[in-house]
Amino acid sequence: MTVSSIAPRRHRVVIIGSGFGGLFAAKQLKRADVDVTLIAKTTHHLFQPLLYQVATGILSVGEIAPATRMILRKQKNAEVLLGEVVAIDLQKRIPMHAGLGGGSSDAAAALRVFARMWRVEEARARAIGRELGADVPYFFEGGTVLGLERGDLLFPLIDRPPAWVVLVFPSFGVSTKEAFAWWDACRSLERLALTPNRLLNDLEAVVSKRHPEIARIVTRLRNAGASQAAMSGSGSTVFGLFGSQATAARAARALRARSRQVQVTTLLNRARYQRLAAI
């Protein structure tokens, strides 16, 4: 059993390209509480309008191309790396088969990065995201949304109030494909009655039939004071919302067990999500 609190940590902003846009973005972050890494193909920043004069021998490259490192030398939170982004080394922190959208969020992040590198319009990047998966478009938006059709037709809503979140990870995962197959096969399933101000996940009942521990965790979170508790996505993660960090921490301790992990974190509103995701 692991109980941990996700404390605020210093984020790193990676800027690809040392053109005017890249340098401007880096300088704008000079006083921000982030580390900045600028990846450049060349060691110099070229002033494009003067390239003709270089080609004709009127000026040298050195006269129009200040070293990128020199431009940012006084910015303590910035570093310049020489290279070209051609692949992504992924370090996953969100468990697989957890119902937390880890794969979808990775896909959306990669699409945003490559769309900017290759000057692809955002609308096209979002369309590609919808082709990759129903959850991917959400990670272009963030915050509280209404999802229609497959869940990929999104309408932003007023964000939920701030809350502390307890995430409980059972020792098993749930395949999204299997969860929906169970739903399709359970034609006689009684739909849960809607309760005002209560979150409801239709998949929770069918998944809990195969994994009763999920229902037990939901009940324990509610008994520990959660204002809302439910399975996340297609499972297997269960979450509970709490009004204070102290209450959330007590609930996390109460849920301790060798067979599961627990994390305490907070909700992100749309504005904060989009800042962190550099949208």
- 264-274 residue pLDDT tens: 999 999 999 98
Q: Which structure tokens are listed for 129?
A: 């995201």
Of 75 and 91, the structure prediction assigns the larger pLDDT to 75
CA distance 138 to 268: 14
CA distance 217 to 260: 11
E strand or H helix that includes residue 276: helix 270-276
Burial of 95 (0-12, 13-18, 19+ CB in 10 A): middle
Classify 63 as helix, strand or coil.
helix
Q: What is the pLDDT of residue 187?
A: 61
Domain ranges of the chain: 102-157, 164-268
pLDDT(71) > 80: yes
Classify 16 as helix, strand or coil.
strand
Q: What is the DSSP string of 105-158?
A: HHHHHHHHHHHHHTT--HHHHHHHHHHH-TTGGGGGT-SSEEEETTTTEEEE-P
CA distance 240 to 31: 36
CA distance 135 to 206: 20
Classify 1 as helix, strand or coil.
coil
CA distance 270 to 142: 5
What is the dotted CATH code of the domain comprising 164-268?
3.30.70.890
Q: What is the pLDDT of residue 6?
A: 45
- Mean of pLDDT over the chain: 83
Q: What is the pLDDT of residues 88-110, one digit of tens each?
A: 777 788 888 999 999 999 999 98
pLDDT(117) > 50: yes
pTM of the model: 0.69
Burial of 78 (0-12, 13-18, 19+ CB in 10 A): buried
**Which residue, 271, 100, 120, 80, is CA-closest to 169?**
100
CA distance 188 to 203: 14
Q: What is the DSSP letter of 44?
A: B
Classify 24 as helix, strand or coil.
helix
- Measure the CA angle with vertex 101, ends 98 and 104; round to 5°: 135
